[in-house]
A = this chain, B = another copy of it.
Amino acid sequence: MTEPGTEGRDPEVVSKFVEGFAAQLVEAGMQRMPARVFAALLSSDPGSLTSAELGEQLQVSPAAVSGAVRYLAQQHMVAREREPGSRRERYRVSSNQWYEALTNRDAVLKRWEHALREGVDSLGAQTPAGRRLSETLAFFEFIDGEIARMMERWRVHRDQRYGADGAGHVG
């Protein structure tokens, strides 16, 4: 029987999930390497891996890992942490990671809204096109506010389920 540590897992089973889930992310628009790295981290037992471990598991160069991790960090999809007393770095995900990423997603929405406002101004608020842009803008503004409230509800929901202090959940 296998220990509940990283060592006792069937690498092929893990790899099958990693590649399958990554493929779904790719299909939804994510770049391939970031998707694979994220899936690998998500399905690791400690929730974090080093650059070397990622490179070995995914069979890619350190450079590829470096690029993917930089991208993921920018998107708030992974946290980088320095291992104390070592020059190694660990890349970490939590089960909460999508919440974090989505929360920081509204920067994109804000830019869309800005572009739409410019469009309304330059095409004329009274033109048919201007009105369409304006209504589209209203939708995004609505969504914007809703997402914030939705995330707050998720926090409550999760705390009820896993405990308000986070004890007993994976992190």
- List residues of chain A with CB under 8 Å of any chain B CB: 4, 9, 13-14, 16-17, 20-21, 24-25, 27-30, 42-47, 93-99, 108, 111-112, 115-116, 118-119, 122-123, 126-129, 131-136, 138-140, 142-143, 146, 150, 153-154, 157-158, 161-162, 169-171
Contact = CB atoms under 8 A, between A and B. Distances in A.
5 pairs of A and B residues whose beta carbons are closest in the complex: A95-B135, A29-B29, A132-B170, A17-B119, A95-B132
A68 B153 CA distance: 38
B135 A154 contact: no
A32 B154 CA distance: 34
10 contacts: A16-B122, A28-B112, A43-B133, A95-B131, A95-B134, A98-B140, A99-B139, A128-B170, A131-B170, A143-B154
Given A13-B123, A98-B140, A123-B17, A44 B129 contact: yes
A9 B123 contact: yes
B14 A123 contact: yes
A21 B119 contact: yes
Contacts of A29: 29-30
Contacts of A96: 135, 139
A150 B143 contact: yes
Residue of A20, A29, A129, A140 ringed by the most chain B CB atoms within 10 A? A129
Nearest to A147: B150
A7 to B, nearest CB: 11
